Structure 1
């Protein structure tokens, strides 16, 4: 295991190397210092002049010797190529605890087109990436002079769990003050005061399930706007020395379709940021617990049975989010018939929503008022019912999706139905499928 630090010999990179060196000492790990030189480009039949890397190699050796003077084991490595993929490959080539990088600001136009090296490494590396922007805060903490104020972004997803687990490294290194912030997405605002209390409790329980008995302060922001902006505002208000966020590491069209919270945080934060990929493993001793169940229903006969089983998954209390999805046509309909189709479906959808809301109210009161279990519900319209269910599970931070199905065939194979099959294929959560009881 090692700490990997990439350097371009700038002032920011040298400060990051000091942080990486101090972390490596505390963790009793070697430091791997990497520099990536750009490849030369051959244009047609023009004569090729191979650049002399001697000066850069000497710089790398001097920087490694400076860090070795502190008594640390330092391995220097010189590479050719684009910095971001080379750093990612270097970390993947040997067991790596963390990547440490300095950050140099870029204009928004350049960042939009290219992104910074730090952003690209954080989006592609399989290990946590620490981007150093205020090195003095980390150095004071590592020297034991001050406590480090940590702010972790928590949204009740797997990537947030990985970020919380990464806090354990900092807990053992020195005095820390841990805070967590939950900012609801614009499509799922927290309106009522009791909902804020429930979500605050959910976040607190999630943190303690991973970290154990560690003091944590939880903030729930109920404000409009972009989640990353509100999260960074919380960091500024709390004077956080390190921001910790999880990242799904989306790429290409996925990144454009779903704006990245971690990318926005990293791009605009003024303090140090640790980006933790969702692939980062959680402690092996952690046993998953079920606190939030998403129950998707179409109000067939198995609905009540599914609600009973959803309660059975929450013996110590928790929450159930009951949802029904009404079908509506997609926006890709032929424009010649679109107006007629949408008119017909708008009437049908409105009627279906009203009927669904009435059916939710008609469910047995004994199943809707179980002590210790909070039940919420929603009825929405979507052209892809399975996608809506999977999105709701992520949005609500569900630990498991609960669904009912029609029954079994004579051969014993489950007749799951297209919606259940689609959810099983797409969901990143466990799916609990309930069949009707035998007559």
Structure 2
């Protein structure tokens, strides 16, 4: 399902550690690995002469040493713009980005580059922390698909279901009832009942989609909490989830994520990799 992977690298130690994980993903899917280095226009942020070529040649050697076909390129400009342009203009199926880097890909999830790539890329983006608890391994064994019943959540859930089938992984479906929004409403009990009914319906619909796609093991849950992203993270830790798959809105509102800021908070705080899937524009 992933035939072409894109990995932007800046030669940092974080990117270096994540590269091994990217190679594992590409090897599992027999994919071509695209390696991209972006040299910023700002002279203060540019690498020293020869660094870009060195970083790319090292990454290419490691990937090809595992038997992968590679494509490498150096571009010049604003890193997130060039990464998005490459992802949107080529036939890559997945962008993988580390959550820590140095100049050029610095700040990343805790800053602007990865968030902008996630918002602008029309292909799925996998964000991976090089400091992930317990290390990184692929294929992922347990996937989590949070849903609020929206189109973008369903788009992500379908991809998560396909990935679960491809890698023989267990799939968990979760919908969270946000009780914090009801605290000041006298209709609280009635509204909670309505929200619970909606949540039950969302997970039932997601379960049906996963079953139709062919997922062998589906676990559904409805949780209550004052923080949706917090409940998702708690579920990840309680059930040893390896990957969260979550949807983002299309161009008409790509400055906002599914369920408001939930996806953004997960990108910043998730203890495991997060796969963000863009809602298709035609949807």
What's the TM-score bracket when you normalise by the shorter of the two chains? 0.7 to 0.9
> Where does residue 88 of structure 2 map in the other structure?
92
**Superposed displacement of residue 5, structure 1:** 0.8
> Where does residue 157 of structure 2 map in the other structure?
164
Gaps of 5+ in 2: 183-187
**Superposed displacement of residue 126, structure 1:** 0.4
Structure 2 residue 146 is the aligned partner of structure 1 residue 153: yes
**Superposed displacement of residue 253, structure 1:** 11
> Where does residue 196 of structure 1 map in the other structure?
196
> Where does residue 182 of structure 1 map in the other structure?
175
- Aligned equivalents of 2:63, 2:263: Cα separation in 1: 31
Q: Deviations over 1:146-165 (max 9, x none)?
A: x6121111110011011111
The change in CA–CA distance for 1:211 and 1:82 in structure 2 (over 3 A counts) is farther
Structure 2 residue 133 is the aligned partner of structure 1 residue 132: no
**Superposed displacement of residue 241, structure 1:** 1.1
> Where does residue 206 of structure 2 map in the other structure?
206
> Where does residue 30 of structure 2 map in the other structure?
28
Q: Deviations over 1:133-180 (max 9, x none)?
A: 2396542x43xxxx6121111110011011111113422443312111
- Aligned equivalents of 2:274, 2:151: Cα separation in 1: 19
Q: Give the total of aligned pairs.
A: 264
> Where does residue 231 of structure 2 map in the other structure?
230
> Where does residue 119 of structure 1 map in the other structure?
115
Instruction: Give the conservation status (yes or no) of the 8 Å contact 1:165–1:211.
Output: no
Q: Secondary structure at the match of 1:275?
A: strand
Instruction: Give the conservation status (yes or no) of the 8 Å contact 1:165–1:210.
Output: yes
After TM superposition, the score normalised by the length of structure 2 is: 0.80
Q: Deviations over 1:335-377 (max 9, x none)?
A: xxxxxxxxxxxxxxxxxxxxxxxxxxxxxxxxxxxxxxxxxxx
**Superposed displacement of residue 97, structure 1:** 0.7
1:102 to 98, 101, 111: 98
After TM superposition, the score normalised by the length of structure 1 is: 0.53
The change in CA–CA distance for 1:152 and 1:16 in structure 2 (over 3 A counts) is same
The change in CA–CA distance for 1:115 and 1:250 in structure 2 (over 3 A counts) is farther
Instruction: Give the conservation status (yes or no) of the 8 Å contact 2:174–2:220.
Output: yes
> Where does residue 185 of structure 2 map in the other structure?
none
Structure 2 residue 15 is the aligned partner of structure 1 residue 13: yes
- Aligned equivalents of 1:105, 1:58: Cα separation in 2: 17
Q: Secondary structure at the match of 1:155?
A: coil
Instruction: Give the conservation status (yes or no) of the 8 Å contact 1:151–1:178.
Output: yes
- Aligned equivalents of 1:233, 1:177: Cα separation in 2: 18
Compare relative contact order (CA 8 Å, sep 6+) and give the higher one, 1 or 2: 2
**Superposed displacement of residue 183, structure 1:** 1.4
Instruction: Give the conservation status (yes or no) of the 8 Å contact 1:5–1:31.
Output: yes
Q: Secondary structure at the match of 1:243?
A: strand
Q: Secondary structure at the match of 2:93?
A: strand
> Where does residue 69 of structure 1 map in the other structure?
65
- Aligned equivalents of 1:200, 1:137: Cα separation in 2: 34
- Aligned equivalents of 2:49, 2:67: Cα separation in 1: 28
Gaps of 5+ in 1: 43-49, 282-427, 429-439
- Aligned equivalents of 1:181, 1:195: Cα separation in 2: 14
The change in CA–CA distance for 1:165 and 1:80 in structure 2 (over 3 A counts) is same
Highest Rg: 1 or 2?
1
